[in-house]
Amino acid sequence: MDQLSQHIVNALMLGGTYALLGIGLTLIFGIMRVVNFTHGELYSFGGYMIFLFTSVLGLNFYAALIVALVLGILLGAVIELVLLRRLRGADIDTTMLVMIGCWMVLQNTEQMIWGGVAKAVVSPLPEEPLVLGSVSVAWLRVFVFVVAALLILATYALIHWTKLGKAMRATFQDRDTASLMGVNINAINTATFALGSGLASAAGALLGPVYLVTPTMGNLAALKAFAIVILGGLGNIQGATVGGFILAFAEEMGAGYISSGYRDAMGFLMIIVVLLFKPTGLFARAERIG
């Protein structure tokens, strides 16, 4: 029982960050129909930004988190303006190849600047963990969970209750009609890509101090994000949120009670099952985007 409650807490903490990674990716696919291979690089970009601003430049940790989020948004906007805007109307394969190229360029640039050796980011949160009975969890993980939840809620709110969100949903439903109704599709695309990228960067900045920052940290993160998006249904934000938690629980319980050697396989095994029986994802019937 003690072990089970510890596993549940672990899975919740992990699920929050998985959900955050997933919604950024699903948003971009849903609205722009772009398979964003740079998602993992924005994640490691966030990790390096938190390292740069706290460990190198000595900025306050919380301020550095906000800076990482903002810089992620800016980098996303630049990628959209420079690459994706020119590719609008190009077929999905072309865009995919360009994004794969961009992923490689970003990863190698990181490697060139920072070197291949992992960096550790020090957080100001207490090293002593939070202990509740038999369950114990690092304060940093709790903080990361809370911030991730807030960012997810903020994204929901943005999509549901703002004019920008309404325009995003309209673009998702029918791009041409939305455009005829006066929605500026270019601006929506930039905003969407920037927002998705910002979320990935924030995830990297949050998890950098939990783990270590390396140029390849985004690879595994992107793989998980893709899994979550497929699980939840492409373009489905609720699906991605729930999908993130499902993947975390599958990994945690699979590793805890079946075999840790197959931990990363558990999630993907589940995806194979989902794709076989419900290829549009677990939550396909729910309204997409918001």
**Residues at the interface with other proteins (CB under 8 A):** 2-3, 6-7, 10, 13-14, 111, 115-118, 120, 127, 129, 131, 136-138, 141, 211-212, 214-217, 219-220, 251-256, 260-261, 263-264
Closer CB to other proteins, 57 or 118, in the complex? 118
Count CB-CB contacts under 10 A for residue 285: 11
159: left (phi > 0), else alpha (psi -120 to 50), else beta? alpha
Smallest gap from residue 245 Cβ to other proteins (A): 14
Smallest gap from residue 123 Cβ to other proteins (A): 11
d(CA 89, CA 180): 17
Q: Residue for token digits 């006066």?
A: 182
Count CB-CB contacts under 10 A for residue 151: 21
Closer CB to other proteins, 17 or 197, in the complex? 17
Closer CB to other proteins, 235 or 254, in the complex? 254
Smallest gap from residue 221 Cβ to other proteins (A): 9
Q: Residue 81 has which token pair?
A: 């303006």
The CA-atom distances, in angstroms, between 250 and each of 53, 237, 270, 271 are: 35, 20, 8, 11
Closer CB to other proteins, 2 or 176, in the complex? 2
Closer CB to other proteins, 76 or 254, in the complex? 254
Smallest gap from residue 271 Cβ to other proteins (A): 17
d(CA 74, CA 193): 10
Smallest gap from residue 223 Cβ to other proteins (A): 10
Q: Residue for token digits 């963990």?
A: 129
